[in-house]
């Protein structure tokens, strides 16, 4: 039993490392704002098309950035869920009796 727990811990660490190397992209405004994140949902890069930069309408730009970040984080969560399904035999993150640190 202890050996199985250690193997599972090792596999979880591998999944976390893999998610850290994965890149997901979220976009908003038809690609005017693009956010790149790793598989854990950590934002790595934000690109903003100069056409959308309007000092008179900063609120719209803020909204586009927020939407792109949310999309990238959702994709990261979905990728993590898929990796966990592989590891747990189809249970995914929701099927575990504990919360993972990512």
User: Which domain CATH number covers 44?
Assistant: 3.30.1310.10
13 in a structural domain: no
3-class DSSP state of 99: coil
Length of the chain: 102
pLDDT tens string 31-80: 999 999 998 889 999 999 999 999 999 999 999 999 999 999 999 999 98
3-class DSSP state of 23: strand
Poorest-pLDDT segment among 24-28, 42-46, 55-59, 96-100: 96-100
73 in a structural domain: yes
Picking from 100, 82, 80, the residue whose alpha carbon sits closest to that of residue 90 is 82
Q: How many CB atoms lie within 10 A of CB 24?
A: 22
- C-alpha gyration radius of the chain: 17
Q: pLDDT band for 83, please (50, 70, 90 cuts).
A: confident
8 in a structural domain: no
- Residues sharing a CB contact under 8 Å with residue 70, sequence separation 6 or more, in sequence order: 26
Total domains present in the chain:
1
Residue-range definition of the domain harbouring residue 84: 20-90
10 in a structural domain: no
Tokens at 68, concatenated: 């792109």
Q: Please state the pTM of the whole predicted model.
A: 0.73
């Amino acid at each position: 039993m202890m050996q199985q727990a250690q193997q599972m811990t090792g596999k979880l660490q591998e999944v976390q490392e893999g998610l850290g190397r994965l890149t997901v992209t979220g976009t908003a405004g038809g690609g005017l704002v693009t956010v790149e994140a790793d598989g854990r949902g950590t934002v790595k890069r934000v690109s903003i098309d100069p056409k959308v930069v309007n000092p008179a309408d900063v609120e719209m730009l803020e909204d586009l950035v927020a939407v792109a970040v949310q999309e990238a984080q959702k994709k990261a969560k979905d990728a993590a869920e898929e990796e966990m399904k592989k590891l747990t035999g189809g249970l995914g993150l929701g099927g575990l009796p504990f919360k993972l640190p990512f």
